[in-house]
Amino acid sequence: MTDTVNRTMVVAGGGIGGLSAALGLANIGCRVTVLEQAAQFGEIGAGIQIGPNAFHAFDYLGVGDAARAKAVYIDKLIMMDGLTGDLIAEMPVDAPFRTRFGNPYAVVHRADLHGVLLDACRARDAITLVNNQRVVAYENTASGALVRTETGDTFAGDAVIGADGVRSKIREQLTGGDALRLSGHVAYRAVLPIEQMPEDLRWNAATLWAGPKCHMVHYPLQGWKTFNLVATFQTDVSEVGTNEPGTREEVLGRFGAIVPKARKLLEKPTEWRRWVLGDREPIENWTDGNVTLLGDAAHPTHQYFAQGACMALEDSVCLADKLRRCEGDLGAAFHAYQEERIVRAYRVVLSSRMLGKLYHAEGVERKIRNAVMGAKSPDDFYNGLQWLYGGTGLSAA
Ligand SMILES: Cc1cc2nc3c(=O)[nH]c(=O)nc-3n(C[C@H](O)[C@H](O)[C@H](O)COP(=O)(O)OP(=O)(O)OC[C@H]3O[C@@H](n4cnc5c(N)ncnc54)[C@H](O)[C@@H]3O)c2cc1C
């Protein structure tokens, strides 16, 4: 096994997946070029929940303390019945949780989390960050692989990592264009200044209000200066959309059945952004020669498990680890990487679909959900999540 993998890598996409991959690869000796389509490297203005497994990944990448410094440490995850306003279940994420899993469960502003990775990448001579480069295609070559961008430029290396998100161009070419799977769910996002958050809802928790065909989530952010708000509902949309403007009237109309205590929160934001959500069916191969996929490009998921970004971070850990163990043999490393990641990442994708149904349950299903969830002890929850939070999924082999 070697600690220095003398390889040049081209990463398509500079999100949490692409930057963490670059960092992991630079840590083992690679030179990495990250190509980002946007004019600047950045993230949207919203919150994200981060499980202990993501902090394990940050630790592996050498930026655990910086990531922990940006987080808000909530006390618990709460599920409320939006129809009655009653508590359904809660899972403490306080000291015993942290001791058991070796890291906290936290909520963070996305820009802060992305910024931790960006700062670390900028501090590395081995990493080159390039903006305004939209990747349109890749090619395996005699000496490695290259990508072409919209500007007509090419960037070549020993290998290409497609970390270009849910609408990945690399995946499109690699699979021949597998379809996005529309969930019919739309998520509205807003960030509220703390003064606008109703005092009776300023809980130090990630709170989920479950309603018929809808649910909403809120939690504190940025040292309690703001609250993150996500309102999701089922509808008959025909196209996936990202970060579009949304209207207050549409949100309020979909949450008519929710108790006033929670519904009043939806009247507060002056600006909503909306995402029409989709994922893709699992595939058994992420690799074509010297090209492989990572993050949402490989396993786009619904947000209900709050694990999409956590999985992208874990992918980066696994990719670097396999390359190091395989002493830079790309074929062997990419094979080992995808074999290890496919089961774990798609378990999250399929579990997220099930959670979407659970959150939106109606009638008898709602009663069963409340009874089953309400009967769980903290240890029941922890035992059920051991596979996920107990590590990064990295095998010793
Ligand atoms: C409403 C909602 C809530 C969520 N909440 C959570 C949560 O609480 N916890 C969690 O872990 N996950 C959550 N997720 C999932 C998480 O946001 C994603 O899984 C994560 O951002 C994936 O990271 P990525 O880097 O793979 O892709 P992306 O974040 O999509 O980044 C891809 C990057 O590539 C760039 N790009 C795209 N195409 C090209 C191209 N052709 N050429 C060059 N650059 C390109 C993009 O501009 C972007 O910068 C949530 C998602 C949604 C929609």
Q: Which residues make Cβ contacts (< 8 Å) with residue 369, sequence separation at least 6?
A: 88, 210, 358, 361
Residue 110 counted as domain residue: yes
Residue 117 counted as domain residue: yes
Number of domains in the chain: 1
Helices (H), 181-329: 248-254, 260-263, 308-325
What CA–CA distance (Å, rounded) separates 356 from 351? Answer: 9
Q: How far does residue 267's CA lie from ligand 1's centre (Å)?
A: 27
Count Cβ atoms within 10 A of the Cβ of residue 86 and give its class: 0-12 exposed, 13-18 middle, 19 or more buried.
exposed
**pLDDT in the model for residue 64:** 97
Q: Residue for token digits 């919150």?
A: 47
Instruction: Report angle CA 352, 217, 242 to the nearest 5 degrees.
Output: 65
**pLDDT in the model for residue 341:** 98
Q: How far does residue 38's CA lie from ligand 1's centre (Å)?
A: 13
pLDDT in tens, 223-267: 999 999 999 999 887 777 788 888 888 899 999 999 999 999 999
Residue 228 counted as domain residue: no
CA 128 to each of CA 1, 222, 240, 246, 383: distance values in angstroms, whole numbers, following the listed order: 26, 29, 32, 36, 42
What is the pLDDT tens value at each position of the chain, 397 positions in all? 556 889 999 999 999 999 999 999 999 999 999 999 999 999 887 899 999 999 999 999 999 999 999 999 999 999 999 999 999 999 999 999 999 999 999 999 999 999 999 999 999 999 999 999 999 999 999 999 999 999 999 999 999 999 999 999 999 999 999 988 988 889 999 999 999 999 999 999 999 999 999 999 999 998 999 999 999 999 887 777 788 888 888 899 999 999 999 999 999 998 999 998 889 999 999 999 999 999 999 999 999 999 999 999 999 999 999 999 999 899 999 999 999 999 999 999 999 999 999 999 999 999 999 999 999 999 999 999 999 999 888 876 5
Give yes or no for a contact between 289 and 141, defined as CB atoms under 8 angstroms apart: no
Q: Which atom of ligand 1 is nearest to the CA of 307?
A: 11
Residue closest by Cα to atom 30 of ligand 1: 165
Q: Are strands 127-130 and 31-35 parallel, antiparallel or unpaired?
A: parallel
Please give the structure tokens belonging to residue 278: 């989709």
Domain of 29 in residue numbering reads as 8-74+103-179+283-354
**Would the pTM count as exceeding 0.85?**
yes
Residue 271 counted as domain residue: no
Residue 167 counted as domain residue: yes
Element (H, E) at 8: strand 8-12
Residue 56 counted as domain residue: yes
Residue 392 counted as domain residue: no
Ligand 1 site-directed mutation target among 23, 36, 188, 302, most atoms within 8 Å of CB: 36
Q: How far does residue 166's CA lie from ligand 1's centre (Å)?
A: 7
| Residue 30 burial (CB count, 10 A) | 25
CA 155 to each of CA 25, 34, 132, 275: distance values in angstroms, whole numbers, following the listed order: 17, 10, 13, 32
Residue 61 counted as domain residue: yes
Strands (E), 131-271: 135-141, 144-149, 154-157, 159-162, 181-193, 205-211, 214-221, 226-234, 241-246
Residue ranges around ligand 1 (CB below 6 Å): 12-18, 35-38, 48-49, 134-135, 163-166, 169, 187, 189, 230, 275, 295-296, 303, 306-310, 312
Give yes or no for a contact between 340 and 287, defined as CB atoms under 8 angstroms apart: no
Give yes or no for a contact between 326 and 1, defined as CB atoms under 8 angstroms apart: no
CATH number, residue 48: 3.50.50.60
